[in-house]
Amino acid sequence: LAQPANTKAIETRKDVCAIFDQLNVPLTDFLGNNLIKTSPGDGDVLCSLATTSEDQFEKTVDQAQSAFLKWRTVPAPLRGELVRRFCEKVRTHKEALATIVTLDCGKTREEALGEVQEVIDICDFAVGLSRQLYGLTIATERPNHRMAETWHPLGVFGQITAFNFPVAVWSWGAMIALVCGDSVIWKPSEKTPLTALSLNGLLTQTIAEYDQAPDGLAQVVIGGADLGQALASNKRIQIVSATGSTRMGEQVSATVGARLGRAILELGGNNAAIVTPEADMELAIRGVVFAAVGTTGQRCTSMRRLIIHKSVADDFCERLKNAYSQLRIGQPQDAGVHVGPLIDQAAYSGMAKSLDIAKSEGGTVSGGERVMQDQFPNAYYVKPAIVRMPAQTDIVKHETFAPILYVMTYETLEEAIALQNGVTQGLSSAIFTNNMREAEFFLSAAGSDCGIANVNIGTSGAEIGGAFGGEKNTGGGRAAGSDTWKNFMRRATNTINYSAELPLAQGVEFGA
């Protein structure tokens, strides 16, 4: 995407320049004065970027459309070769890319490396998939006929992503879309543009080096909700994937639906774990702590509700508080840090407000205070909070994107599952138990109503091989592995008559 000449008003921080230099990605092409990017880790300004104008956006769609027309005729295994080459670059630059993730969204080093690894994993999956875009042969009722299903590339894929997984979520969609023969336009969160520019920069290099891949096959546009709406409303973008809050999903769904486009919605969660008296408590503590405080509670799958049997609740909560007291809160790039910063001031205000409401609804709060504000007045570090609630009140049903774990008790498993399902969101869920009957009931049709249901692991940390997503207000979309590739292709049912007769289906006789 052509950007206006460098009109930068703000010096780009040296560590950012160094990484883009190392990747050989020209950040200067994207500098400007519309979007000031700060670091969640210390609150400092990292750089200032140009946002994509309406005119530039239209040109981006033109290029994506003409790239698609070429790319759809490249055989799928050769499309896989592009992804394989891109993956090699990601492997080579894994450390540098993780540094960008940490700078951009404040994720700890360990989790940032994990996120880049997720890109590598989905690339490997997509390369294999490029030889497995299978259709069916279907029994036909007519003699000397054959019926089959073929899958074809669909068009331009537009992807809107959230700040908290600034690169993994893109790769779940984009790598699959590329092997399926689609072109890609990525609108990352305006809070994490640098990760997008670095990764898409490496992909653009790979495209330029590969004679099968047309220019404009994968592009980034920079902007906020308005740009997201421009993407959602553009009829030339056949598939729109939107990852973010339920509020955003409602708006994107309405816009895409109004033009009868295809939308994949990956929205908010309000994930719970049930801990029964038959759980391995040591394992459950570890599972709950990682899911509740990892990524500072800013995963769509973060554990927000703990539903624990009355008989073990007090003891478990004491052990949980003890585990929380040992967590290391600190700058995300430092080794051994468990809890990095919240993304911004609004996230901190949201957390503080939710804790106040929880208290007014009868909750007892432990933790939740802001820390390190003397050192970093413009960065927002908090102690993760545990809140004992008398019931599943309104605030518990709301997704607060911060490390707050609401704890409620139950007496029967049916009651626990009713609490677990008693929210509007339906993303991830878990049960901790060694009792096979409890575990299987939780996984049954009468059990968890979520897209992800786990036994003896927490709610977060999914692998790319499975389909990722959830029901109800989480939007119903699925991304990453399994058969999600079908979202990115169009299915044609073919009936071929190799006889000299023309029998009609259902035995219909047409006289003439």
Per CB under 6 A, residues contacting ligand NAD are: 160-165, 169, 187, 189-190, 224-225, 228-229, 232, 243-245, 248, 251-252, 266-269, 300, 399, 401, 427, 474
State the minimum distance, in angstroms, from the CB of residue 328 to ligand NAD.
Answer: 25
| Catalytic residue (choose from 111, 115, 118, 266) | 266
Strand order in the sheet with 428-432: 364-366, 385-388, 404-410, 303-309, 271-275, 428-432, 452-455
CA distances from 418 to 174, 307, 405, 428 (A): 37, 10, 18, 15
State the minimum distance, in angstroms, from the CB of residue 244 to ligand NAD.
Answer: 3
* Residue 475 identity (one-letter amino acid): G
The position carrying tokens 């230099």 is: 21
Q: How far is CA 222 from the centre of its chain?
A: 18
Q: d(Cα 459, Cα 420) in Å, to the nearest integer?
A: 12
* Residue number with CB closer to ligand NAD (80 or 470): 470
State the minimum distance, in angstroms, from the CB of residue 172 to ligand NAD.
Answer: 8
Both tokens assigned to 333: 């790039």
State the minimum distance, in angstroms, from the CB of residue 314 to ligand NAD.
Answer: 31
Residue among 80, 84, 94 at smallest CA distance from 23: 94
* DSSP states along 217-285: SEEE----HHHHHHHHH-TTEEEEEEES-HHHHHHHHHHHHHTT-EEEEE----EEEEE-TTS-HHHHH
* Residue number with CB closer to ligand NAD (209 or 226): 226
Q: What is the number of the residue whose Cβ is closest to ligand NAD? A: 228
H/E run at residue 48: strand 45-49
State the minimum distance, in angstroms, from the CB of residue 248 to ligand NAD.
Answer: 3
Burial class (CB in 10 A: 0-12, 13-18, 19+), 127: buried
Active site residue 266: yes
Q: Residue 387, SS3?
A: strand
Question: Dihedral of CA 441/447/452/458: which sign?
Answer: negative
* Residue number with CB closer to ligand NAD (102 or 192): 192
Q: Residue 425, SS3?
A: strand
* Residue number with CB closer to ligand NAD (40 or 269): 269
State the minimum distance, in angstroms, from the CB of residue 260 to ligand NAD.
Answer: 18
State the minimum distance, in angstroms, from the CB of residue 493 to ligand NAD.
Answer: 31
DSSP 333: T
* DSSP states along 170-187: HHHHHHHHHHTT-EEEEE
Residues with catalytic function: 266
